[in-house]
């Protein structure tokens, strides 16, 4: 039995990851910060399909709340085997219109939140000398997209921290990798106009948006023993967008 903590798991990619890991037989801790009803629906779906887990409301940008989440997980299940660092926010703005408050908020959630969760999960993984951390990055980290300088910077930081974490934690049996999705069918894509969707599709060689379940499948693979020799890598899943 493995225990997985998935942050930002009430919707989108996090939801798909939680459901896939549960289908793999893992107990899943579903983290959310605001959407309790949506998070509960994810847990209900997992249980209806024979899985198990629990909810935990925590703002990952707050270290005390992250510590409480990891303590609660240990109290409930005695171990943490997988962390999927997925919680994140997007506050697009051109450089000259950048709001310092949004800059701080993005850095707090997208960068500090990943550090806090990785640090606290690692402290629990040390007991078994084994664990997997998956950091959710973005293809935006390697593409210059107007208006996304802050988001790009945070995801570039995720890529850099992934490599360093992997090197530091390898001697303790903990593997760290990142996934960099391209345009994935989530609420953000659904909110686009038909014209904007068509414009984005033109830039994707495979001619379609990715599915959250496809990201979750890669998470599942990276967490498995089939990938036991892979660490410190950033895997791009973007339909060829970045080519």
Structure tokens at 106: 């993005």
Enter the tokens of residue 50: 């024979």
In angstroms, the Cα distances linking 54 to 26, 208, 217, 221, 224 are: 12, 34, 21, 23, 22
Residue 238 φ then ψ, to 5°: -140, 15
Q: Which of 32, 114, 116, 151 is catalytic?
A: 151
Catalytic site residue 94? no
Q: Helix, strand, or coil here: 126?
A: coil
CA dist list (Å): 214 to 47, 161, 183, 221, 239: 22, 24, 12, 11, 11
Tokens for 58, please give them: 């925590």
Q: Which two tokens stand for residue 85?
A: 């660092």
* End-to-end Cα distance, the chain: 39
Which residues form the catalytic set?
Answer: 151
């Amino acid at each position: 039995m493995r225990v997985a903590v998935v942050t930002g798991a009430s919707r989108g990619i996090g939801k798909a990851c939680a459901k896939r890991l549960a289908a793999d037989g893992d107990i899943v801790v579903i983290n959310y910060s605001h959407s309790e009803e949506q998070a509960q629906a994810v847990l209900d779906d997992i249980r209806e399909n024979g899985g198990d887990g629990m909810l935990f409301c925590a703002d990952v940008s707050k270290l005390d709340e992250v510590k409480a989440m990891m303590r609660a997980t240990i109290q409930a299940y005695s171990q943490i085997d997988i962390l999927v660092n997925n919680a994140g926010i997007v506050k697009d703005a051109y450089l000259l219109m950048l709001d310092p408050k949004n800059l701080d908020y993005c850095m707090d959630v997208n960068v500090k939140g990943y550090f806090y969760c990785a640090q606290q999960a690692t402290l629990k993984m040390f007991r078994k000398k084994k664990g997997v951390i998956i950091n959710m990055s973005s293809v935006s980290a390697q593409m210059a997209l107007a208006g996304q300088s802050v988001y790009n910077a945070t995801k570039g930081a995720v890529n850099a921290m992934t490599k360093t974490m992997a090197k530091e934690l390898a001697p303790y049996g903990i593997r760290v990798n990142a996934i960099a999705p391209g345009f994935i069918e989530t609420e953000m894509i659904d909110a686009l106009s038909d014209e904007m969707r068509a414009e984005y599709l033109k830039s994707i060689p495979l001619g379609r948006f990715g599915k959250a379940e496809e990201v979750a499948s890669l998470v599942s693979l990276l967490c498995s023993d089939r990938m036991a020799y892979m660490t410190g890598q950033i895997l791009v899943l973007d339909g060829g967008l970045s080519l």
